[in-house]
Amino acid sequence: MTETEAIQSLSAIGETAATYGALYFSVTFAYVTVAYLVGNRLSRFQSITATITYTLAATVFGLTALIYSKAWFLLKAKQPTIFDDIWFLSDAGWIEGVAVMLLTISLLSVYFMFDVRKDNRAE
């Protein structure tokens, strides 16, 4: 694979990872918005259903983003490119850091849903 082909492949993999990352954040934003706007009016069944649906979608999109990110770093390690000289693009704990971030955001989102449901204060 030439350097140009490697750069094109890295760009395509990066775009795919970014797309799935954006889908993860879109689903999370939608879930938190539902929790904020109507969470205290949802029945237990509705909130559990929304949470299971969110958890499944967030897991699929988050893991797919992580898998493509790992593929990006694997290809970058195998094929020398101009990206090798950029420290920010080195595999310095990116995958682990992003995994912890996504897991934390998901857990906080679920906590927010059930905390809003407990909150019966008048608006």
pTM of the model: 0.87
pLDDT at 121: 47
pLDDT of residue 122: 45
- Return the pLDDT at 88: 77
Q: Which residues of the chain have pLDDT under 50?
A: 121-123
Which of these, 16, 106, 9, lies nearest to 69 by C-alpha position?
Answer: 16
Q: By C-alpha distance, which of 44, 51, 48, 98 is closest to 70?
A: 98
